[in-house]
Amino acid sequence: MDEKDYISMGLNGTAPLKLILCGEVEEAESRKTGVVSVVYATENKEIAEEKIKELSEKYPEKFYMVYSVPLNVDLTTLSHYPSIEISQEDLQ
């Protein structure tokens, strides 16, 4: 599976909330830091689809992912919850 497959899974998931996360590497004073942020939340699949496309086109150097998230649930109890991996190689 590739990035588009994962985005499609997030958009088409049955949970009502669609969260868009942004992963990026920031550099300050010759030090790199990986940052993951929640940048958008909606219950509307079409809006989420438009927003992730817009963000990806506007900021191609960043990595975006969308997750379908249930409400009123401890997300850490799910088999996979919203996250983006930033590897050591990304920080070099």
CA triple 87-80-20, angle to 5 deg: 75
The per-residue pLDDT for 7 is: 93
The per-residue pLDDT for 72 is: 96
> What length does the chain have?
92
3-class DSSP assignment, residue 28: strand
pLDDT band at 81 (very low <50, low <70, confident <90, very high): confident
CA triple 33-76-1, angle to 5 deg: 70
Among candidates 5, 25, 8, which has minimal Cα distance to 84?
A: 25
Mean per-residue pLDDT, 38-52: 97
pTM: 0.89
